Structure 1
Amino acid sequence: MALTIGIPRETESGETRVALIPKIADRMLKSVDGLEILVESGAGERAFHSDRSFEDAGCQIVDRDTVFGADLIAKVAPPSDDEIAAMHEGQVIAGFLSPLDRPSLARALADRGVTSLSMELVPRISRAQKMDALSAMSSLGGYRATILAADRLPKFFPLLTTAAGTIRPAQVLVLGAGVAGLQAIATAKRLGAKVFGYDIRDATREEIESLGAKFVELELDMGDQEDEGGYAKELQKEKQERQPELLQPHIADADVVISTALIPGRPAPLLIREEAVEAMKPGSVIIDLAAPNGGNCAYTEAGETVVEHDVSVIGPTNLPADMPVHASQLYAKTITSLIEEFVEDGAFTPDFDDEIFDGACLTHDGEVHNERVRGMLSQEA
């Protein structure tokens, strides 16, 4: 039997991306013998890919029920309750599944007998770089956050010398130098701002400075703050309490603060207290990319713009969806790379001896496979 891959229309509010684009679908169909790709009618519309463009690539345009009858479902956002109910035992789903933030979703998928691959759990090893959807989307988020800040700030970003006088460049402070933070730094520099970067991992100093920004150093003994996956570790309580205090003067000097500090599966650390916002100049802007996990700023509300002390605090929850063309293109490349890695003789073949599959697999054969998620579910129980 031919392997069928289903591409549903995303139903989560504000989600504009699609898991596969026609160009990559065409390549997959030519490289995998017997493959059939079933695309729900309208799935690509918000990413500017028409049904006709999918048909021209060799895909079949079908209804929603037919899509969810496919052997493998490729999605962007985590499946809804209705979508999980439409799935059947032995089916495979790949996509963002929020395993550490919504472990109950893993239990629901396991109860349906679904094998699920979480893009968030793809191990950070060289062989899996082409499957790193998190980094791809974080890069888009960091870029978009800077553009959003420049649009909201009632000032120029660059230094300008005019007949009417000289305009000093805006000061941008980026908190967190992961993929999103580094892209925000690079974008702010390209826009002409004076940029500062901060991270608890001293190893990021070189990356920050290589982009032309100044590394913010606090009088705080951090030690080794990077885990095996390259993420920041959670600070000890005493250091957590001192960090916002030491950051406050740097925040007060900034016209824009872009905050990206987040540890997967944990509440976002509080870096920007109320008094720090009050000390900022009127008209300043804070873009808090940690908003979905509570935010790095005391005033952050997920999905909202809050104005306090004449400072705009913006808490976006899905900035890549603001750029659906390139977001879908990059995401499609990562998810198809993961799928193709385990297609053998025209069938999707789980391989738990492979560290990529073993790491990315969330559920299989009625069980939650990921050890950390199992532990979280046990604690909830």
Structure 2
Amino acid sequence: MKIAVAKEIDPSEPRVAASPDTVKKFKALGAEIAVEPGAGLKSGLPDSEFTAVGATVSADALKDADIIIKVKRPEASELSQYKRGALVVAIMDPYGNEAALKTIADAGVSAFAMELMPRITRAQVMDVLSSQANLAGYRAVIEGAEAFGRAFPMMMTAAGTVPAAKVFVMGVGVAGLQAIATARRLGAIVTATDVRPATKEQVESLGAKFLAVEDEEFKNAQTAGGYAKEMSKEYQAKQAALTAEHIKKQDIVITTALIPGRPAPKLVSADMVKSMKPGSVLVDLAVERGGNVEGAKPG
């Protein structure tokens, strides 16, 4: 069996679908591994590291491959290189992208969506949602701190005291919890909000303050699978009013709210953005699904 590691064609995508360690595991199962030249360069993995563990680096890596592994769903231009009957394993982002999925089907390729892997103990090592969300939450704070340009912790200097930065995290899933933890480690004053009541205790356990309209609807705002439910217009209005007042005083706002199969909920209106202090920062992690911040665009 031939497994091919494809190079990502999206210039903004620095990840690669395999590492030398995973190539070793594939080899141990008896598979032949081919890697497209430069596939791992943006991840700090030169071609030599793949050849050192027995992979072949070739421009024809995808030719005749039985399985192609990628980070992102293949574009139409890539499918012409895949043989009919091949399997492609990637983050497929299937919701709302029916035309792209039809293109894959028309090419005679079977697609496996990594993000639809069951979230059970046995499949934990393949959970791309939690692992990547965890890193995204961390990176959101680091990127926000860089753009903010001032210190996060309170700084007491001979010339005076600089107050601690105020960070507000909207959406307390895996990414939100990691953002809270990272901002706290850097010394910020952190508040967070989510519609799921179970998150209140999680937020407070990390040393942050929880902000939400805690009415009857809030108490029943979580699905059996642990995801957020879509809230009523009335609740959204009450929560928006509370958030609007809070956001005016924040230095950094990080939004992470996503509902599976739907556009990202709008949490920060244009008026809220205008109310923020000059020099404050918004980091919208849901931008690829329409964004939590009104007016946010990918890139």
- Aligned partner of 2:186 among 191, 201, 205: 191
- Aligned partner of 1:180 among 175, 178, 182: 175
Residues 65 and 83, structure 2, Cα contact 8 Å, conserved in 1: no
| Counterpart residue type for residue 123 of structure 1 | P
Q: Calculate percent identity across the aligned residue pairs.
A: 44
Q: Does 1:62 align with 2:96?
A: no
Aligned match of 1:7: 5
The CA distance in 2 between the partners of 1:267 and 1:151, in whole Å, is: 28
- Aligned partner of 2:213 among 212, 218, 231: 218
State the Cα distance separating 1:135 from its structure 2 match: 1.2
Residues 166 and 188, structure 2, Cα contact 8 Å, conserved in 1: yes
- Aligned partner of 1:84 among 79, 88, 101: 79
How many residues are matched? Answer: 298
**Aligned-partner SS, 1:238:** helix
State the Cα distance separating 1:225 from its structure 2 match: 2.0
State the Cα distance separating 1:238 from its structure 2 match: 2.7
Residues 124 and 229, structure 1, Cα contact 8 Å, conserved in 2: no
Q: Deviations over 1:206-230 (max 9, x none)?
A: 1111111111122543232222432
Q: Which has the higher contact order (CA 8 A, sep 6+)?
A: 1
Aligned match of 1:279: 275
> Measured at CA, do residues 55 and 154 of structure 1 come closer, stay the same or move farther in structure 2, by a change above 3 Å?
closer
The CA distance in 1 between the partners of 2:24 and 2:62, in whole Å, is: 18
Q: Deviations over 1:62-113 (max 9, x none)?
A: 214x424211000001101022233233211101111113122222222233
The CA distance in 1 between the partners of 2:236 and 2:101, in whole Å, is: 31
The CA distance in 1 between the partners of 2:63 and 2:53, in whole Å, is: 21
TM-score, scaled relative to structure 1: 0.75
**Aligned-partner SS, 1:75:** strand
Residue segments in structure 1 that go unaligned for 5+ positions in a row: 304-381
State the Cα distance separating 1:200 from its structure 2 match: 0.4
Q: Does 1:263 align with 2:263?
A: no
Q: Does 1:152 align with 2:147?
A: yes
CA RMSD of aligned residues (A): 1.6
Aligned match of 1:208: 203
TM-score, scaled relative to structure 2: 0.94
Aligned match of 1:26: 24
**Aligned-partner SS, 2:175:** helix
How do 1:1-381 and structure 2 match up within 5 A?
A: 3-30=1-28, 32=29, 34-64=30-60, 66-220=61-215, 221-303=217-299
Poorly superposed stretches of 4+, deviation over 4 Å: none
